[in-house]
Amino acid sequence: MSKLFVPLDLSPRRALAVWQRNLKVWSRLAIPSLLGNLADPLIYLLGLGLGLGALLPQVQGVSYISFLATGTVAFSTMNAATFEALYSGFARAHQQKTWEAIMNAPLSLDDVLIGEVLWAATKSLFSGSAILLVITVFGLASWQHALMALPLVLLTGLCFAGIGFIATSLAPGYDFFMYWFTLFISPMAMLCGVFFPLEQLPAFIQGAALVLPLGHAIGAIRPLLLHGEVSGLWLHVLVLLSYALCGVAIARVLMRRRLLR
Amino acid sequence: MPLTVTDLHKSYGATEVVRGISFQLQPGECFALLGPNGAGKTTTLRCVLGHTEPSAGRIELCGLPVPARAREARVRVGVVPQNDSLDPDFTVTENLLVFARYFGIPATAARARVPDLLAFAGLEAKADAKVPTLSGGMKRRLTMARALVANPDLLIMDEPTTGLDPQARHLIWDRLKGLISQGKTLLLTTHFMDEAERLAHRIAILDRGQIIAMGTPREVIAEHIEPQVVEVFGEWAGHEGGAAAWAATHAAQFSSRFEVSGETAFCYVQDADVLLAHLAAQGGLRYLHRPANLEDVFLKLTGREMRDE
């Protein structure tokens, strides 16, 4: 059995080459990809925001559509990072042997994994930025606030890319990812205040948002977009960063066990 | 030395798949690892490249200890893996350019190298074709060109012609001979004996995780087997049981060693004249007289039974 806990073997330049490879693939499909990433959240935003919003008084002091839109930024960023880490990551790591080919060049597994995590985060940043742009154009948030939110969007992407690769390292096939969505991603959307304020939930469930990463992503991004300031920002940042790092650390051990045995 | 492997062991759980292998590659030679499925060929290559940690033993690749400094060592090594691992999202040229970046080759230098690599692979006309549109032989040639992108000293190829048709195999062999004449060092695995005999300066036969024969193809043949083989098959006029029945009663008398496999008797002889004269006098029996080859050695040493992994 190979050792599972080995020191980090990272060459930033080589990891960047992996990131560039993925960017190159994405760049030729950038427009359809971005439109695809935008369509889904926009449908929710317009449908729920206008339809449901008409029935609701203000939520937490703002219109329902503003409340929903700011939650959607975090939600879509999470989804974009997760899809990239799970489905596209699986294709490259296992199905089409891209990782195997790259590791025959002078790259370590750490280079490849970290290049991939950074890429998934970058792609989710593109996605999140597109939604921020739409929100700004609709006048739901100021562009200054939207710019300030970009680092938090990137951090959210890093967080879900990092833990997403745990699923990718465990998955025997694409079907496995359904569990990740139904057991983790979808419940989080309900428990972390994307569509309605947490206060609507029983107190013992509200506690879940304190530990779940999406709760912290929304806890930071929503007030920043709506009011330009966040209480307890550093706690949110710390939690998201911890999730990202722990995710990468665990995925690294699991991938090593699977690919370098 | 391009590669030195000393007393390599590798176990998975209680199963030891590599059991004390040692060999050394000389600069400029083509060395082939032969062995049935499950003999430990691919595991040995994985250890050599630092993709898995040996249970015991020492590996030095391009002068560097592996796995400790495998990443640096791989800068000087080109690898042609067994599975197609070309990037399906890219064209032929892009595959080469993107791979060059993994070696830290600047884009302009990589671009300048592409025409030579395409010419080597015979893919000039396919420079802008997407990988999924290529034939199996073209993909394998592109994989070889990709392995050459950083102008390596040592090329490691895992079954470079498996799954190709004869035309494609011959084209690959031509390319490999070209590389050998350029002075590259080659390490390849194969279970095609003719491939090893044709290309390799030296071979090692691997079975159940151990090297059971090593040397030039001629040396290995001379050391392990009689120089000539007569294969006897078909019906035997006036007798029941065909070639097998003939072998049971006559083969021992005319050959130093014989084997019956299915409907064919393999007679290994120093001199075939007496046996051939005898066979010519028998009605019905058909026979094939040929020099002994590596395949005969291989089957003698590893047995004729099927090896399923």
| B23-63 per-position pLDDT tens digit | 999 999 999 999 888 889 999 999 999 999 999 999 999 99
pLDDT for A1: 43
Asked whether the beta carbons of residue B102 and residue A98 sit closer than 8 angstroms, the reply is no
pLDDT for B100: 97
Asked whether the beta carbons of residue A24 and residue B98 sit closer than 8 angstroms, the reply is yes
B 141-180: CB under 8 A from A: 146-147, 150
Mind listing the pLDDT tens digit for each residue in B220-263?
999 999 999 999 999 988 888 888 899 889 888 899 999 998 88
Sequence-separated (6 or more) residues with CB below 8 Å from residue B189: B32, B33, B34, B35, B41, B42, B45, B157, B158, B159
Neighbours of B264 (CB within 10 A): 18
Bigger pLDDT: B262 vs A4: B262
Neighbours of A114 (CB within 10 A): 25
Distance from CA of B275 to the nearest CA of A (A): 53
B 77-116: CB under 8 A from A: 79, 81, 83-90, 94, 98-99, 101-104
Angle between helical axes of A109-137 and A30-46 (0-180°, round to 10): 50
Give the position of tokens 């039974």.
B305
Beta bridge partners of B233: B286
pTM of the model: 0.91
Q: What is the ipTM of this complex?
A: 0.90
For residues A94 and A233, the answer to whether their CB atoms sit within 8 Å is: no
Sequence-separated (6 or more) residues with CB below 8 Å from residue B129: B91, B92
Closest chain A residue to the Cα of B68, Cα to Cα: A9
Instruction: Tell me the two tokens of residue B197.
Output: 């005999």
Residue B67 preceded by cis peptide, ω within 30: yes
